[in-house]
């Protein structure tokens, strides 16, 4: 079985919903499974430690998940035009994998949700690509062969799937956004499978 890690952080649930649509796209490809994981929140009291098993939702990721999976979909809310600190904090623990080069040549894609349409989704996606490139991932976007990229009035970018949550953060993931999440997951799975079998 080929496994793709869907790793996200979500404080209010929007990025979590996107992760589920991306996982559906991944699992639409035969012989590919999605492994959904999240990261704990961080606090200024860095000595505070979350329980190893969260009260609800996805299991917390470990470095072994990165090693064991053949590809990666990485999702974070947009925070001041950048990825959220809990995701960056986890990535900053991956230097052993950077040193060993174990993640090199694995495909990866990124996704994000923001409250406003022009609130920095694209810069967030680009910021998420940077550490992945250092780790050796091959970055995939969404090509304009996905028709929704030309017509969406909500989220969706060639740099990765996005969602516009609105001022109150309650906008549902629109149909275009859902299709682009699915398309990104499916493409990531297909390319991961091809690379693995080549
Ligand atoms: C500290 C903080 C910074 C944020 N910065 C931005 C921003 O730069 N642009 C934006 O449009 N939304 C911003 N937001 C809103 C979130 O990106 C938005 O609510 C997102 O949908 C949250 O995803 P989640 O429901 O998965 O937690 C920010 C929210 C917080 C808490």
Ranges of each domain in the chain: 2-197
> What pLDDT band is residue 49 in, cutting at 50, 70 and 90?
confident
Query: Ligand 1 test: best mutation among 165, 171, 177, 181, most atoms within 8 Å of CB?
Result: 165
pLDDT of residue 43: 85
pLDDT of residue 121: 97
Q: Tell me the CA–centroid distance for residue 32 and ligand 1, in Å.
A: 31
CA distance 139 to 104: 11
pLDDT one-digit tens code per residue, 81-138: 999 999 999 999 999 999 999 999 999 999 999 999 999 999 999 999 999 999 999 9
CA distance 53 to 49: 11
pLDDT of residue 190: 98
What share of the chain in percent tops pLDDT 90?
91
pLDDT of residue 45: 76
SS3 138: strand
> What pLDDT band is residue 52 in, cutting at 50, 70 and 90?
confident
48: pLDDT strictly greater than 80: no
CATH number of 2-197: 3.40.50.360
115 lines ligand 1 (CB under 6 A): yes
10 lines ligand 1 (CB under 6 A): yes
If you average pLDDT over residues 2-8, what whole number do you get?
A: 98
pLDDT one-digit tens code per residue, 150-192: 999 999 999 999 999 999 999 999 999 999 999 999 999 999 9
b (16+ CB within 10 A) / e for 146-171: bebbeebebbbbebbbbbbbeeeeeb
Give this prediction's pTM: 0.97
């Amino acid at each position: 079985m080929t496994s793709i890690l869907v790793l996200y952080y979500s404080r209010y649930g929007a990025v979590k919903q996107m992760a589920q649509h991306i996982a559906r796209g991944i699992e639409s490809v035969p012989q590919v499974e999605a492994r959904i994981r999240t990261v704990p929140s961080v606090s200024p009291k860095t000595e505070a430690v979350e329980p190893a098993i969260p009260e609800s939702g996805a299991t917390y990721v470990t470095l072994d998940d990165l090693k064991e999976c053949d590809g990666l979909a990485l999702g974070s809310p947009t925070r001041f035009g950048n990825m959220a600190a809990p995701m960056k904090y986890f990535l900053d623990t991956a230097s052993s994998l950077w040193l060993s080069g174990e993640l090199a040549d694995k495909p990866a894609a990124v996704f994000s949700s923001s409250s406003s349409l022009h609130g920095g989704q694209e810069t967030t996606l680009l910021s998420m690509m940077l550490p992945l490139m250092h780790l050796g991932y091959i970055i995939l976007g969404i090509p304009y062969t996905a028709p929704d990229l030309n017509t969406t009035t909500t989220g969706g970018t060639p740099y990765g799937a996005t969602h516009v949550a609105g001022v109150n953060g309650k906008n549902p993931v629109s149909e275009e956004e859902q299709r682009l999440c699915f398309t990104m997951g499916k493409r990531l799975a297909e390319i991961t499978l091809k690379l693995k079998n080549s």
